[in-house]
Copies of this chain bind each other. A is one copy, B any other.
């Protein structure tokens, strides 16, 4: 009896989570009902591989909490990070358009709650609900824009600037007084996210301190104002400063 109730709660929470996600705002009741019936939610710990690049895809995923790394690797094991996602983001969904093969591997990098849903539900909703298809196109377009920016950054920003830019995108919209940022995951991962070595990250962060007067202690970054950081990082970027609106696959 306890188990049944627990599952019921879980499933209820799943739909609640999905309803809060902007991408699903125009989804049909049929969609939500099917997700309620077929979702499974799992608590995953660091290191768990959810699927591998080129795996046959049955499901897509929604992150309820935690962090997940998407990446690909070459035969010799060198790995390239595609993205690192958190709460309310979806992944694995593009397999629908890729012959049902995942275009990257997915690994949990912080303790996470992951919602697991059949791709078929999503596919049906896209085909039957043109509003949702439209929203999904918008989401893809934003993601594409973000990837373009990523390529640009790696072309024209140096390591300290890339870190500064990343920090700026972590700040919440209107900060007042002293600004405090917590790095969302460990520095090794951050380095790979930004396309550099951990050693380079460490040195670049130190340089960023000297150049902009931010204070770094462990995973905490403090500063009085964003101005310095903006002047330092955004000079080497084609976007104007409050550049957070570029969005992501789940928005």
Which residues from chain A sit less than 8 Å from chain B, CB to CB?
53, 72-76, 78, 80, 82, 94, 96-98, 103-104, 126-128, 130, 133-134, 136-138, 140-145, 147-148, 150-152, 154-156, 195, 235-238
Contacts and interface: CB of A to CB of B under 8 A. Distances in A.
Contact of A103 (B72, B97, B148): B148
B238 A152 contact: no
Contacts of A138: 97
A236 B144 contact: no
13 contacts: A72-B148, A74-B237, A82-B151, A94-B141, A97-B138, A103-B148, A126-B137, A136-B137, A137-B140, A144-B144, A150-B151, A151-B195, A154-B195
Given A143-B144, A238-B73, A127 B130 contact: yes
Contact of A94 (B98, B144, B236): B144
A134 B127 contact: yes
A141 B140 contact: yes
Contact of A152 (B72, B140, B236): B72
Contacts of A80: 151-152, 155-156, 238
Contacts of A96: 141
A15 B214 CA distance: 58
Given A94-B144, A134-B126, A141-B98, A236 B78 contact: yes
A46 to B, nearest CB: 23
A133 to B, nearest CB: 4
A82 B148 contact: yes
A97 B141 CA distance: 7
Contacts of A151: 80, 82, 147, 150-151, 154, 195
A208 to B, nearest CB: 19
Contacts of A140: 137, 140-141, 144
A103 B145 contact: yes
Given A103-B148, A151-B195, 7 more contacts: A72-B152, A76-B235, A82-B152, A96-B141, A97-B137, A97-B138, A133-B137
B98 A145 contact: yes
Nearest to A141: B97
A86 to B, nearest CB: 19
Contacts of A82: 148, 151-152
Contacts of A133: 126, 130, 133-134, 137
A144 B147 contact: yes
